[in-house]
Structures are given as C-alpha cells and as structure tokens.
Amino acid sequence: MRTNTPIAIEQENKSTWKFLLSELKPKGKIFTPFNIISVPIILAGLVIIVIRFWKGIGSVTNLTQDIPWGLWIGFDVVTGVAFAGGAYVITFMVYILNMRKYKSIVRVTVLNGFLAYVFYAGALLLDLGRPWNVINPIIGNNFGTNSVLFLVAWHFLLYMIAQLIEFSPAIAEWLGARRIRGILSGMTIAAVIFGITLSMLHQSGLGALYLMAQEKIHPLWYSEFIPILFFVSSIFAGLSMVIFEGSISHKVFFSQISEKNHHAQKGIILGLAKICAGAMFVYFFLQVLVFIHDKNWVYINTPMGYWFLLEMIGFVLVPLFLFYQSYRKNNVFMIRVAAILTMLGVILNRLNVTVIGFRWDMPVRYVPTWMEIVVTLTVIFVEIWIFRWVINRMPVLRDAPAWAKDKH
C-alpha cells in the first residue's frame, strides 16, 4: 500500500506561492521522539553558531594555531563526504553500468548525497577563521591555485550543482512542471558523468590535503597513498550508509514505497553487501601493503599501535567477513550489522587521520568542546529534518506520476 503522488499545481488550480506555503505545513505527528530530542539541540546549536560568528571561533571551540582543524572538519566534512559517496557509486552502477535493479534507490541516494554536501559545506564555513574568504577561489580574488583546497572547493561547488540536476526531475514532478521535467531528464546522463568524475577526484582530494602534514600525523595513518585509501574507502562507506539509511527509510516511510520495491529491497541489499566486501578487501590489502612498505612494525606494540589494530581488525576485517558471509547466506540482518560496523570504522579512520592521530605527540591534546559536539548534532538533525520534508512531499521513494512515466 502506498500513498498517491502529490497533486500537480495545475491540477490544484493554485498559484505557485500558495502551493509552496501549503507544502510547508507539517505532515504527521509533531510530538515524536525524534522531534522532541532534535528541536532543543537544534535551537542550542543555532545559539552557539551565533556566538561563534559574534565572538570568534575560539569562544566555542578548543582549536588553536597548532590545531586549526578539529571536529567540524574531521567529522562534519571529511567523514561526512565519505558517507555521501554512495551517490556517485549508485549513479555509476545504474546509469553507466545499466544495473537497473538499483534504479529504485537512485533518487533517495542522490538526495542524501546532495543534502550532505550542502550541510557539510556549511559546516566548513564554521571552521574558517575568515569565512567570507570562502568565495575567493570562485570570484578570482586570490585564487590559490597552488592549494589542494582550490580543487576541493571547485569540486564541491560543481558536484553540488551536478547532484541538484540529477535530483531536479523529482522537483519538477512535485511541481507538475512537465516541460521543464523533460528538459531536466535529458540533462541527467551528462550530470551523472560529470558528477562521478568530480566525486572521485575530491574524495581523494580530501586525503591529499593531509599529504603536507607528514610531520604532524602518526606514521600508522600517514602515507603518500592517503588519497587512494580515502577514495577506495568512500566506496564501501557510501554503500554502507545507503544500506543503513535505506533500512530506516523502509520502516519510517513504509507507506510510500510500492510493493514491488519492497520485494526488491532484499536483493538490493545483498548486491550492495557483495560490492562492499570487494571494496573492503581491496582497502585492507592496500593498508597491508602501505604498512609493510613504510616499515611500521615498530609502532605496533604501542598504545597507538593497539588502536590501529582495533581499527583494522575490528572495523575492517570483521565487517568484511560479515558482508561476505551474509551475502552467501542471504542474511539481511547480518548485512545491516556489518554496515553499522563499517560506518563506525570509517568514522574512526577519518578521525584518526584528522584529529586523534594529528599532533599525537603534543603534551596537550585537542579535545572538542561540548559546543562543538552540539553544533555537529545540529547540522545532522537539520539535514534529517529537510530530508524527511522532501521525502514526504516529492516522488523520491514513491513512484513517479503517470505522466512522467510515459516519458521514460
């Protein structure tokens, strides 16, 4: 059983503004556990953000000249972008490899990726001492072409535009804009190819940012192959997020999903598990090669060495084995467990590179303040609110309207 697609504006005989205002009204219950928990945190986070821009970044964070990047970069940006990698992987599988069984999750994956990039780009502004300079690479005022950040900035901007084009047919269907929808659909393949290229570049580009920090990152997490490791890990990080988010969406938005897509979910999850297992095997093999090449045996019998083994064994090998076994045994529950472990492992790896293993030998270590944590939760919760709003109104999980299907 599924709900009907929202009625087009022309059919409702409403002006665009009246239609949009009507869509802003809440749908469903207001006092839910998620709303009750998230609203106070969001309000507190907004207050902290105002203080940050009013009194400076030092008023709400523990960042210093020695540790200029902390939780907002390490988790919100570097880790979050890895989890958004599912968008370029799924679109590559569907539009380039023509794996049609994954087509039903394309829109929700692209939406998740687009919102992630928008909000993590916003989080990046919080971490900049002079946030108004963020437009310099765009307008040509001090381009900074020698910096990897120049490439990352342009990749972020162009990839967000590409993802918006990929998702725009759903917006046109929601608005009932038939002619515009046809034009936007014709742009999808070009946007997908462009987006995949950009995403592959900046996934590795984020790792390249840390190539210049050889003396600051613990040897167990630094190598000249960080860009490759970041790129490969973004594959299984993004697909694990697709499995995790998809499992929740199928429960929360059950009524919006057609019976056909409900039945297809198990096959989709099993297929994603197989890809995750393959990507994680490549990643682990590369990590072993880097470990041997850099002769890091000397660090193993140390506290940081034990921490490294926990990451590699507990959050790479174990979920790799679970993905492989669950695919063979058609065990969806085990796949979901493996996806959660994989996500925790990706968070651990990115934080080890950017926070925990960064300036690891300093007498005073960086620890994020409670305000930094609240702002991070605010970014995540606001993203979920907007994600839910879009899902409840646009044909993302539900089928497209009949007139749009006729044009396929």
Q: What is the pLDDT of residue 175?
A: 85
Q: Which pair of tokens denotes residue 97?
A: 């490899």
Looking at the 3D structure of the chain, how many domains does it have?
1
Tens digit of pLDDT at every position of the chain (408 positions): 444 444 444 444 456 677 677 777 777 788 889 999 999 999 999 999 999 999 989 899 998 888 888 899 899 889 999 999 999 999 999 999 999 999 999 999 999 999 999 988 888 888 877 788 777 777 766 666 677 778 888 888 899 999 999 999 999 998 888 889 889 989 999 999 999 998 888 898 888 889 888 889 999 999 999 999 999 999 999 999 999 999 999 888 888 888 888 888 999 999 999 999 999 999 999 999 999 999 999 999 999 999 999 999 999 999 999 999 999 999 999 999 999 999 999 999 999 999 999 988 888 889 999 999 999 999 999 999 999 999 988 999 988 887 876 555
Q: Which two tokens stand for residue 276?
A: 């995750």
Report pLDDT for 11. 45
In a domain, 282, yes or no: yes
In a domain, 2, yes or no: no
CA diameter of the chain: 73
The three-point CA angle 224-196-108 to 5° equals: 120
Within-domain flag for 382: yes
Structural domain includes residue 202: yes
Which structural domain range is residue 136 located in? 33-398
Return the number of other C-beta atoms located less than 10 Å from residue 45's C-beta. 22
The pLDDT assigned to 154 comes to 86
Whether 11 is covered by a domain: the verdict is no
Contact indicator for 84, 128 with CB cutoff of 8 Å: no
What is the predicted pLDDT for the residue at 144? 66
Q: For residue 15, what pLDDT is reported?
A: 65
Produce one character per residue of 260-270: b if its CB has 16 or more CB atoms within 10 Å, e if not: ebeebbeebbb
Residue 148 lies inside a defined structural domain of this protein: yes
In a domain, 4, yes or no: no
Does residue 372 belong to any structural domain of this protein? yes
CATH of the domain at 231: 1.20.1630.10
CA distances from 54 to 74, 119, 403 (A): 23, 21, 51
Count CB atoms within 10 A of the CB of residue 328: 12
Coil, helix or strand for 216?
coil
DSSP H or E run through 348: helix 332-351
Q: How far apart are the first and last CA of the chain?
A: 24
